[in-house]
Structure 1
Amino acid sequence: MAGSFDGKVVFITGAANGQGKAAALAFAREGAWVAGFDLGSKPAYPAYVTEASEALARVQREIAAEGGAFLPLTGDVRREDDVRAAIERTVEAFGGLDIVFGNAGIAAYGLAHELSEDEWDAVLDINLKGNWLVAKHAIPHLKARGSGVILFNSSIAGLRGLNRLSHYSASKFGLVGLAKSLAIELAPDNIRVVTVHPTGVNTPMNDGLAAMEGATPEEIAERSAGNLLPVPWIEPEDVAEAVLFLASEKSRFVTGSGFVLDAGLLTR
């Protein structure tokens, strides 16, 4: 496979399904060597999240069938040893690291005063701490390359509050602060840091939220979003296209900012 990312090494979290999988496929089709990191065991919360080893294997087979390279890696983004090992394995396999897409995340509904401490911690630890750990261990390798890009998958919930999603919104707002701070720290090393802010996306997480609520995925998308354009959600491939654009030389002067992909939601 050949394309605009020939020879680039990309590390993606939450790569087994949804937006992470779509990004992995898109980068591989453009010639990148891709490492995909996802859960090696089922977490306690939320209930819809599953272990991802077989899903990662499917991504590997799909990319290999198209002539691309994909390294499946399992672990937990909340565990520093897991993150460190996954990034080191990526560098050993592909010879370096150029692009990071911090995509792993969970969401579940609950009024702020009714959430348990464990529920709050799970969302903040996966969505925010996990991205910090990935950045922490990726940065030395990006510096060694003399340039790089870190992309964090935030959300429209990182730009506005959402009902019954206080822990999710807090984590996604936190990613914005993390990205802006890293952009300042890493600019001298020619490393860019950007957040991506999709509206509701047609992914297994959307299906899982719907099942927990006894609703349809379309109802969940409309309840949590309310897009201006007449669509209940966008597709994972839409996010992947944005990620590739932001990681490319076409966006070489974009850093410390957020790319909004909201179907007009925030215009309401």
Structure 2
Amino acid sequence: MADLTGKVAFITGAAHGQGRAVALALAKEGVNILAFDVAKDLPYPAYSFGSSDELTSLQHDIEALGARCLPIKGDVRRDTDVRDAVEQVMAAFGRIDILFNNAGICAYGLAHELTEEEWDSMLDINLKGAWLVARRVIPVMIQQQSGVIINNSSIAGLRGMNRLSHYAASKWGLVGLTKSWAIELAPYHIRVNSIHPTGVNTPMNDGLAALEGTTTQAIAERSAGNLLPVPWVEPEDVSAMVLYLVSDGARYVTGAQFVLDAGLLTR
């Protein structure tokens, strides 16, 4: 892998889970991090999100690795929050080389029983939020004539899933954005790919289990059906895939979907 020292990554949903793991993995390679997170609980879904304390501890962990971290509280649904974050990262670092569109939510519900507010929340965070962030970051990358965008989708972005129609719709939408942006941005040497994990061992599983009145193991088994005998993959597995996609080893990879599903889609 090429030397990533001094590059800058904008990571949404960075306080915990997959975003935190990717931030730390990149920091170990010398990448400076803009850690963007709402850092508060939201009305929907009614489980715990990343916190201000987690965002602060992430900054300490990254700086202990020798990289710099700019922690910013903000909501991907608010263009003013995103605009201000981009302005801050440009003032601090002068560039953005990597965008990891990771912020997302998940919740269960039959399509005909979802409220309009639940539908809108899912699509606004998972899909519109990715577009709002990229809309502010892409001009920076065009000016640089370089960059890598990774959209964190899901196996639900490649198949239908019971009681997850709004979640699947948002994740399929990320595939459309990925493929379209790859075409639009290729002339500027900007690559765009999506990743598609099966269930990942993150705090989201605990939240879903609490909402469903079951266990994290049951949540994992409900959606997984993995070919390999594992209930989920680890955040570090996601990080390894991201590290490959931002490296020169993937310099001709764009518009593609990378599956990390322990064999689920072979079922």
Does the alignment reach a TM-score above 0.5?
A: yes
CA drift of 1:41 comes to 3.5
Match of 1:208? 207
Per the alignment, residue 6 of structure 1 pairs with 5
Deviates more, 1:10-19 or 1:85-94: 85-94
For residue 115 of structure 1, what is the aligned residue in structure 2? 114
Partner in structure 1 of residue 240 of structure 2: 241
Could you tell me which residue of structure 2 aligns to residue 161 of structure 1?
A: 160
- What CA deviation, in whole Å up to 9, does each residue of 1:224-265 have, x standing for no partner? 111110000000010011011011111001101111001000
Aligned to 2:105, what secondary structure does the other structure show? coil
Report the Cα offset of residue 40 of structure 1.
4.0
Distance (whole Å) between structure 2 residues aligned to residue 14 and residue 92 of structure 1: 21
**1:64 CA drift (Å):** 1.6
After superposition, what is the alpha-carbon deviation per residue over 1:72-127, rounded to whole angstroms, capped at 9, x for unaligned? 01110001111111111111111111110000000000000000000000010000
The question of whether the paired residues in 1 share the 8 Å contact of 2:9 and 2:33 is answered with yes
Cα separation, 1, equivalents of 2:101 and 2:116: 24
CA distance in structure 1 between the aligned counterparts of 2:93 and 2:48, rounded to whole angstroms? 29
Give the unaligned 5+ runs of structure 1.
none
Shift of 1:50: 3.1
Q: CA, structure 1 residues 111+232, in 2 after alignment: closer, same or farther (shift >3 Å)?
A: same
- In structure 1, the residue matched to 2:224 is 225
The TM-score with structure 2 as length reference comes to 0.98
Q: Deviations over 1:184-237 (max 9, x none)?
A: 100100100000000000001111111111111111001011111000000001
- Which residue pairs with 1:70 in the alignment? 69
The aligned counterpart of 2:44 is 45
CA contact (8 A) 2:30 2:66 kept: no
Question: Which position in structure 1 is the counterpart of 2:173?
Answer: 174
| SS of aligned partner of 1:11 | strand
The one-letter amino acid paired with 1:227 is N
Query: Which whole-Å CA distance do the structure 2 matches of 1:91 and 1:10 have between them?
Result: 11
Q: Which amino acid aligns with 1:139?
A: I
The separation in 1 between residues aligned to 2:96 and 2:67, in whole angstroms, is 17
- Between the two proteins, what is the percent identity of the paired residues? 64
In 2, the alpha carbon distance for the partners of 1:241 and 1:161 equals 26
Rounded to whole Å, the distance in 1 between the matches of 2:12 and 2:65 is 21
Matches of 1:215 and 1:4 in 2, distance apart?
A: 45
Query: Are the aligned partners of 2:105 and 2:122 in contact in 1 as well (CA < 8 Å)?
Result: yes
SS at match of 1:68: coil
SS at match of 2:75: coil
| TM score, norm. by length of structure 1 | 0.97
| Range with greater deviation from structure 2 (43-52 or 237-246) | 43-52
Structure 1 residues 62 and 105: alpha-carbon distance in aligned structure 2, compared to 1, 3 A threshold:
same
Structure 2 stretches lacking a partner, 5+ long: none
Counterpart check, 1:266 vs 2:238: no
Give matches, 1:250-261, under 5 Å: 250-261=249-260
What is the aligned partner in structure 2 of residue 186 from structure 1?
Answer: 185
Q: CA RMSD in A?
A: 1.0
Measured in 1, the distance between the counterparts of 2:80 and 2:63 equals: 28
In the alignment, is the contact (CA less than 8 A) between 2:104 and 2:125 conserved in 1?
Answer: yes
> SS at 2:231's partner residue?
coil
- The separation in 2 between residues aligned to 1:5 and 1:191, in whole angstroms, is 16
Match of 2:144 in 1: 145
